[in-house]
Amino acid sequence: METETLALAQEIDFSMWSLFERATLTVKLVMVMLVVASFWAWAVIIQKLIDYRRARREANRFDKAFWSGEPLDELYTKIGDTPRGPSERVFVSGMVEWQRSHKEDGGLIAGAQSRIDRSMDVAIAKEAEGLQKGLPDEFATILSRQLDRT
């Protein structure tokens, strides 16, 4: 009896394709959906990895320029109206608000510091939202914590 069972089992093809062919329509649909979901998940993972590395590279480049000892006005002039990355966009938002906060006599208006802080906080939130786009809320929270540490 056991010999017959073993002989029959050896005759059946258990390859992935063979199992798929013998499956019912419902099972085939579930398998196809799982394969598609897997490709989609890997695409999101790879895209986020590329985005995160690009943001880190840009942040490192900006940090070198920022801490080089060059006056911030000159750095702002170099960056111009087209900041190339998240760090530069946050910096430009602060500099724009700083320039708006000057009186005609050269002094700062009252509350300038809080206006600059608020402007930069909004820019930071926009950049974080861009990095978290396409992620579920749980992953976005984890990414946000990771970004806060760096």
pLDDT band for position 82 (cuts 50, 70, 90): confident
pTM of the model: 0.67
CA distance 134 to 81: 28
Residue 92 CB contacts under 8 Å (≥ 6 apart), including other chains: 76, 79, 83, 123
Render pLDDT for 123-141 as a digit per residue (tens, 0 to 9).
999 988 888 887 777 666 7
Alpha-carbon gap, residue 123 to 117, rounded angstroms: 10
**Radius of gyration (Cα) for the chain, nearest Å?**
28
56 or 107, higher pLDDT: 56
